[in-house]
Structure 1
Amino acid sequence: MEQRSVTLPNNLRVLLHRMPSMATVSVCFYVLSGARDESPNQAGAAHMLEHMLFRGSEAFSEEDIRRAMRETGSDMNAFTAWEGTCIYARMLPEYFGSLFPVLADMVRHPKLNAADYEVERSVVQEELARQLDEPRSVMLHELHRLSFDDRIGGILIGSKEQIRDLELQELRAFHRSHYVPDNTLVIITGAYEEKQIDEALTSLEDWRPGADGLLSEAVRQKRSMGGSIAGPEKRTSKLMAPLFRKGAGIWGWRLPPLQGADHYAAHLLCTLLGDDNTLGSRFETVLVRARIAEQANAVYTSFSGGGMLKIYGTFPAEQEEKVQGIVMDELRRLHEGKGNPGELRRAKNKIKTQLAVDASTTDSRMISMAQAWLPGREMVPLQEVLERIDALTDRQLTKLAGRLLAEPPFRVIAGPPEHAKLS
């Protein structure tokens, strides 16, 4: 596997992974600004802009973009996160030369006209409505509201009022400020030829940097973790609504910045407790198979300036205290070094297997390269990631579990109106 990184004179960073055995090429423009970087007047702009990119650019109309995808059988999509926005495509190698300019112009020169904007505003309002009909999504929004007092304490795509009030001029301003080469990461994976890469990168050399130099670092340094930690009396919220047909809970802990080994230890801890695939995890044994909870899993989300570890479960109404007690007992067992000697090895193998699966297609490899680059702003080859995971020790998990036990979690408890209550 051939991996390398390039930085152009305009500070555009490019990560390359040539995979000759693959049948496709994938490319993404990962803008290092997301919903968290919006000003008060721009709430919802990052996600709205993601939608508007597909409405056409200076050189390519919306129909041109659709036709290019349709006639080549290629895939194109995008997503917005708190600290990044990604637009990406997967194609056969022979179409890279014609599709890369389309993707680049969508990112650099979107039309952003008023008629398209009104259509997309309605589309995003419908997307928000779907989120507010999904119990876990509603609970996650509430957890963020409890845990953070800056933009990250709101809804990532914006509230109904924020989407309604967002002006097109603010969308244009967000694009002008953040969609610049020194705030963008380009990743290309798959069966490309070096000549194709040379031509693609040459076409980006006239992309002008942001006015503040290396913008992404300035953005990163201005980020905080949303103010001070709330007191215990403000850490709990209950939601009672017909939407919640059964009991559920989310427990969340804010963590300081985790880099290097500590960053990987947080993901390992979640896998050990129970990620989205809980097979063989502690939560599967003590909660799901014990028929105390229907599901329970843990996930770590990394932010600049810190991160958050979240545990989510569904269970019979009024059982939240029992479930939380078992969760805390498992953290104490980890902190005390109690556990099966083989479970750490199995959790490591599970993560490494998933990374290997991610490397088996060009699009998933492209996204995993971005995820590996973001914590330390460095290119980390797949083999090095695997070695870092192998090097993790029980002591690192013990230390992390101790951080979680040091203070009570933020928690959101939900259930149907006639059952949900707090003790």
Structure 2
Amino acid sequence: MSRTRRSSFPAARRGVPSPGLARAAGGTARAVTRTLSDDPLGGTVRRTVLPSGLRVLTEAIPAMRSVSFGIWVAVGSRDETGPQAGAAHFLEHLLFKGTNKRSALEISSEIEAVGGETNAFTTKEYTCYYARVLDEDLPLAIDVMCDLVADSVLAAADVETERGVILEEIAMHDDEPGDEVHDLFARAVYGDHPLGRLISGTEETVTPMTRRQIQSFYRRRYTAPQIVIAAAGNLDHAAVVKLVRQALRGTPLDTDAAAPAAHRPATPAVRTKPAATLVEPKETEQAHVILGCPGIDRTDERRFALGVLNNVLGGGMSSRLFQEIREQRGLAYSVYSYASQYADSGLFAVYAGCAPGKVDEVLDLTRAELQRVAATGITEAELARGKGMSKGSFVLGLEDTGSRMSRLAKGELLYGNLMPVDELLARVDAVTLDDVNGLAADLLARPMSLAVVGPFDESAFAAR
């Protein structure tokens, strides 16, 4: 891995109380609230750190009639040991199965009765539980979501029921080669490191997992300083904070911490393997291939240049790879590049789905294009188009309360700051041709790993 340049936002800029929570007379911690921004493209953003260390961020958008409310926990599949693989995802399922106040049916019916929706997802570095409701129903959503995250009972019968559901989910995933190849590629790069494992775990790890193990994971990992609550829409920040405090009163998250947590630590430290080729033999009509390498982490200053480079290479219908492989030669229906970024690592890769007999040609063309860009870079016209795509996709992605809520939470949980929209757009505008070409020369010259799902065996790619 190459050396990276990291952001160094001062604590005051990030809105992080320093050196810790404010304390009233007698040393009692009290909540600290700050206004982070009055964004012309959105509403007023405020942040409160509760005495427990739990953080609440809101964006008030009076023109909306809905609110998206999310509880984000800084725990994902990379925080599991080998025998625990799948615990974070298992827990995500179980929290909807009932609390000391509500049954599973009551959790879903109370929100659905007002036309709202709830869901959750687990990633490699965080877990999110969210609801979207009419603004007048926000108090209900806060009470239900805080209840299920803070006070789930994890009944033994529910553990067994959800075990079966998760095993079916794993089997369903195995029947989707277009999804499976992404997990295979992560394993090719990261090997046995948690970033290389399936978020869902495997049949071998999920089957023997006990309620006691899940309960221990729950109480050790779901602590107030590791939780960010975010809401966006027609709301009042003080009212949201009050409702959150009421909903959490008397639960394990109602504590008095010494200080709030920093943004997400990288645990365990990342390890990447030498370039590898992994093949999953499967009798499919289409072969699925991913060619790529370790990328950059999410705080690397070159991430804005990476966004531009990705757009030029495989980020849309005008990209080099799409034009060369699909439009000009008709070798694949789907071809694109992508970048994944974690706390201390990342991936850059190209995916293509094509007829098995065309895999060699697709890989040759992909390698040739990556080598060409690494050697000669991109053009001024491509730079302008790539920057326009980055800015447009970001701003257009803020058209609903859910995306705005996610932006608040990810900024706080993953970066420790919320970069204003105008500043982010300015950072993209500031990317130069030298920035992109320098990154391309470094990134695209790295040894490439290959993942293939299709009617092949490993010997077919032994020399590649």
Q: TM-score, normalised by structure 1?
A: 0.90
Work out the CA distance in 2 between the residues paired with 1:418 and 1:32.
Answer: 39
Percent of pairs with identical residues: 27
Q: Secondary structure at the match of 1:147?
A: helix
The alpha carbon displacement at 1:372 in A equals 4.1
What amino acid maps onto 1:345 in structure 2? Answer: A
Aligned partner of 1:189 in structure 2 is: 232
Return 5+ residue gaps in structure 1 as ranges.
Answer: none
Partner residue in 2 for 1:265: 305
Separation of aligned partners in 2, 1:90 and 1:325: 46
Is the partner of 2:70 in helix, strand or coil? strand
- Please, which of 394, 400, 413 is the counterpart of residue 361 of structure 1? 400
Candidates 219, 222, 225, aligned match of 2:267: 222
Choose the corresponding residue for 1:249, options 277, 289, 295: 289
- Asked whether the 8 Å contact 1:288–1:296 carries over to 2, the reply is yes
Alignment of 1:36-51 (within 5 A): 36-51=78-93
Deviation string 1:72-98 (CA, Å, 9 cap, x unpaired) is: 110100000000000000111111112
User: Could you tell me which residue of structure 2 aligns to residue 274 of structure 1?
Assistant: 314
CA RMSD of aligned residues (A): 2.4
Please give the alpha-carbon distance, in whole angstroms, between the structure 2 residues aligned to 1:313 and 1:35: 26
Determine whether 1:93 maps to 2:101: no
Name the CA distance, whole Å, in 1 between partners of 2:343 and 2:93: 25
CA change 1:84–1:202 in 2 (3 A) is same
Partner of 1:292 in structure 2?
331
Q: Is 1:240 the equivalent of 2:262?
A: no
Please give the alpha-carbon distance, in whole angstroms, between the structure 1 residues aligned to 2:413 and 2:367. 30
Distance 1:212 1:415 in 2: 53
Structure-2 residue corresponding to 1:161:
204
Q: In the alignment, what sits opposite 1:310?
A: 349
1:332 is aligned to 2:367: no
Q: What does 1:121-136 correspond to in 2, within 5 Å?
A: 121-136=163-178
Structure 2 residues not aligned, in runs of 5+: 1-42
Q: CA deviation at 1:66?
A: 1.9
1-side partners of 2:413 and 2:295: how far apart? 17
- Which of the numbers 177, 185, 189 marks the counterpart of 1:147? 189
Deviates more, 1:72-81 or 1:378-387: 378-387
**2-side partners of 1:100 and 1:166: how far apart?**
31
The verdict on how the C-alpha distance between 1:412 and 1:228 changes in structure 2, with shifts beyond 3 A counting, is closer
The 2-side partners of 1:419 and 1:411 are apart by 11
Q: Is the 8 A contact 2:180 2:453 kept in 1?
A: no
Higher deviation after alignment, 120-129 or 283-292: 283-292
Query: What count of residue pairs does the alignment treat as equivalent?
Result: 415
| Structure-2 change in CA distance of 1:287 and 1:393 (3 Å) | same
In structure 1, how many angstroms separate the alpha carbons of the residues matched to 2:399 and 2:279? 43
SS at match of 1:21: coil
| Structure 2 counterpart of 1:381, one-letter code | P
Q: Could you say if the C-alpha distance between residues 194 and 155 of structure 1 is closer, same or farther in structure 2, counting changes exceeding 3 Å?
A: closer
